[in-house]
Chain A
Amino acid sequence: MTAVAEAKIKRRVLPSPVTGQEIVLVGVIVVLWAALAVSTPAFLTAGSIQPLLVATAPVALVGVAMTIVIITGGIDVSVGGAIMVCSVLTAKALVGTDGVSLGVAVLLSIAAGGLLGLVNGVLIAYGRVHAIIITFGTANLFMFLGLRIFGSGTVNGIPATLAFFGRGPDGRTLGIPHAFLITLVITAVAWWYLRHTAGGRHFFAIGGDAQAARLAGVRVQRRVLLAYVLTGVLVGLASCFVIAQGTSTLDQSVGSGKELAVIAAVVIGGTSIMGGRGSVLGTLLGALLVQSVASGVTQLGWRSQLSDLFVGIFIIVAVGADLLRARARRSR
């Protein structure tokens, strides 16, 4: 073998572990936090950052799975409805003198979420209809199901069983909220899996060209099914976070609009909505940025609609940057 070929083998074999988008996001978050710290001295305190991290956790957690789904070229707009079903089911199980324990509640929520994800996954992997149509349908179905479980009104008197995931002192270790810590660990595992295992690579291949992946021997349907089941499972866990963050009352607005918040975080994180490219680390940063903006707008005493405006601008900038990158790659 020639010296050139050997030199190639010795150098870094994979592209850099952090994408440009992620570096930009870290920069934007740092600047934003610095600006907020200057304008509202209370911002850079534990009392302000801790709730921010807790609120980021459910969106980022579902975002991890959503990133994988979008990498395969799909999308799941039913996560809002799924969060509603899981939350109300789990909240009802917690209520009363015979309310379930923390472990049982988490398992119940995850099982329910996994089941909903399985429904999506089977329909999308074996039904050969585009994911947006299927999940738009199941989103309505899940919402109907959630409202039926709610019955007439709200779920009241939810005990503090899930305080481990909550905003209070029980929800922190060394000052770091458990919900955020768990999200961080799951993001890290997903990042590693996508980058260093064959299964992870197959998600990217499916998003690039599903037919080519199939001919190469990738079990496309099984992979796609797995992506949606994983989404359901993480929706189940995120629902526990949602309950823990709330008051003792759960109302019917739970989960509403969450699918858009999650997709926004994924897109802002640099994942291509066309599939084939993306990063869970970017999604975590995207979720953190969106939540920081919301928190900052509140603390500055601005009207909360402004937060939507900023998120909208971020999405457009992120998608624009993605298009420019794709164009640059093609012309290279």
Chain B
Amino acid sequence: MAATPLLELRGIDKSFGPVQVLHDVGMSVYPGEVTALVGDNGAGKSTLVKCISGIYTIDAGTVLFDGRTVTVNSPRDAADLGIEVVYQDLALCDNLDIVQNMFLGREQKRGIVLDEPTMEQMAAETLASLSVRTVKSLRQLVASLSGGQRQTVAIAKAVLWNSKVVILDEPTAALGVAQTAQVLELVRRLADNGLGVALISHNMNEVFAVSDRIAALYLGRMAAEVKTSDVTHAQVVELITGGRSGNLGLPPEGPTDFADFMPGGQL
């Protein structure tokens, strides 16, 4: 695969007041690949995503995009670079239709007037390029869509802008079996179209079905970044729950956050 990661994080630190949520986190997203970001609740996955998307500013560390060092201070900065995030809670407005949602905040205009035909055409082309056939009309209100269709629209919105990196925060969390399969297929297709995809997920089957690499966070530290084909389910679960698995993961004698509080030191 390509040697340069599209998006590379080095030594990211992030604290909220006295609580350090991310410690020296590094991660890479490669073009044409799906990188699964896994970790237990509170491991720092969502915080890491919000640091990448510019909602949070990082305390220390470097973000490289296409090999260049960049600073991302707002979601707009991220979008300008070509980084799009599809949030867990499906950030769509129920009262707007599909086209209006896809272009919200970045409407196409002729002068000051909205250019509806152009927006409709771009939306139709984007949905067609993702082989989405499930929506009846582009002018359907998002309120009338199913969970899977909403997720599809959210993803289509993210790829509309020739974005290079798409980050998906648990896109299948609220979906049924069939819809989950549809969305995963779509995620795979994004990578096959050459985008760098980062997928946050709790579901091991999903991770193994769709990802090329796995990055496991454990208590705010990157426990391991591995190729999916090099590891087993059990190893990934160990990385998530214990931070290490065999010779993979964090060093065992490293001072843990609990060491200070536990009589006898090590866990």
- Which residues from chain A contact B109 at a C-beta distance below 8 Å? 197-198
Interface residue stretch chosen among A22-30, A55-63, A205-213, A292-300: A205-213
A198-B107, A211-B91 in contact; A329/B114 too (CB < 8 A)? no
Please determine whether A197 and B114 come into contact, CB atoms closer than 8 angstroms: yes
For window 66-108 of chain B, which residues contact chain A by CB distance below 8 Å?
Answer: 75-76, 79, 87, 89-96, 100-101, 104-107
B143 at the interface (CB under 8 A from A): yes
A8-B120, A9-B117 in contact; A217/B93 too (CB < 8 A)? no
A1-14 contact mask (Cβ, 8 Å, vs B): 1 or 0: 11001001100011
Q: Which residue of A lies closest to B119 (CB)?
A: A13
A130 at the interface (CB under 8 A from B): no
Please determine whether A209 and B94 come into contact, CB atoms closer than 8 angstroms: yes
Please determine whether B125 and A213 come into contact, CB atoms closer than 8 angstroms: no
- Which residues from chain A contact B144 at a C-beta distance below 8 Å? 329-330, 332
Interface residue stretch chosen among B37-45, B133-141, B173-181, B216-224: B133-141
> Please, how many angstroms separate the alpha-carbon atoms of A15 and B98 in the complex?
13
Please determine whether A213 and B137 come into contact, CB atoms closer than 8 angstroms: no
Please determine whether A217 and B95 come into contact, CB atoms closer than 8 angstroms: no
B124 at the interface (CB under 8 A from A): yes
B59 at the interface (CB under 8 A from A): no
Please determine whether B143 and A330 come into contact, CB atoms closer than 8 angstroms: yes
A215 at the interface (CB under 8 A from B): yes
A196 at the interface (CB under 8 A from B): yes
A205-B104, A332-B144 in contact; A216/B114 too (CB < 8 A)? no
- Which residues from chain B contact A218 at a C-beta distance below 8 Å? 104-105
Please determine whether A276 and B94 come into contact, CB atoms closer than 8 angstroms: yes
Please determine whether A208 and B105 come into contact, CB atoms closer than 8 angstroms: no
> Please, how many angstroms separate the alpha-carbon atoms of A65 and B37 in the complex?
47
A148 at the interface (CB under 8 A from B): no
B128 at the interface (CB under 8 A from A): yes
B3 at the interface (CB under 8 A from A): no
> Please, how many angstroms separate the alpha-carbon atoms of A208 and B92 in the complex?
9
Pick the residue among B95, B105, B121, B138 that contacts A204 (CB under 8 A): B95
Please determine whether B139 and A15 come into contact, CB atoms closer than 8 angstroms: yes
A1-B125, A8-B120 in contact; A208/B107 too (CB < 8 A)? no
Category for how many chain B residues contact A = 35 or more
A201-B104, A209-B91 in contact; A14/B116 too (CB < 8 A)? yes
> Please, how many angstroms separate the alpha-carbon atoms of A76 and B27 in the complex?
49
B83 → chain A closest CB, angstroms: 13
B112 at the interface (CB under 8 A from A): yes
> Please, how many angstroms separate the alpha-carbon atoms of A208 and B94 in the complex?
6
> Please, how many angstroms separate the alpha-carbon atoms of A216 and B75 in the complex?
8
> Please, how many angstroms separate the alpha-carbon atoms of A329 and B101 in the complex?
17
A277 at the interface (CB under 8 A from B): yes
> Please, how many angstroms separate the alpha-carbon atoms of A208 and B113 in the complex?
22
Most chain A CB neighbours (cut-off 10 Å) among B76, B90, B112: B112
- Which residues from chain B contact A5 at a C-beta distance below 8 Å? 124, 128
> Please, how many angstroms separate the alpha-carbon atoms of A9 and B105 in the complex?
22
A198-B107, A216-B105, A218-B105 in contact; A276/B93 too (CB < 8 A)? yes
Pick the residue among A14, A207, A329 that contacts B141 (CB under 8 A): A329
> Please, how many angstroms separate the alpha-carbon atoms of A207 and B104 in the complex?
13
- Which residues from chain A contact B75 at a C-beta distance below 8 Å? 215, 217
> Please, how many angstroms separate the alpha-carbon atoms of A130 and B96 in the complex?
23
For window 172-226 of chain A, which residues contact chain B by CB distance below 8 Å?
Answer: 196-198, 201-202, 204-205, 207-209, 211-213, 215-218
B32-67 contact mask (Cβ, 8 Å, vs A): 1 or 0: 000000000000000000000000000000000000
- Which residues from chain B contact A209 at a C-beta distance below 8 Å? 91-94
The 8 closest A-B pairs by CB, nearest first: A217-B105, A208-B93, A276-B95, A208-B95, A216-B105, A212-B91, A198-B107, A13-B116
Q: A14-B116, A209-B93, A212-B92 are in contact. List 10 more A-B contacts (CB 8 A).
A: A13-B117, A14-B139, A197-B114, A208-B94, A208-B95, A209-B92, A211-B91, A216-B91, A217-B79, A330-B143
17 example contacts (A-B, Cβ-Cβ < 8 A) are as follows A8-B124, A8-B138, A196-B114, A197-B112, A197-B113, A197-B114, A198-B109, A204-B93, A205-B100, A205-B104, A208-B95, A213-B105, A215-B87, A217-B104, A276-B94, A329-B143, A332-B144
Residues on B facing A (Cβ under 8 Å): 75-76, 79, 87, 89-96, 100-101, 104-107, 109, 112-114, 116-117, 120-121, 124-125, 128, 137-139, 141, 143-144
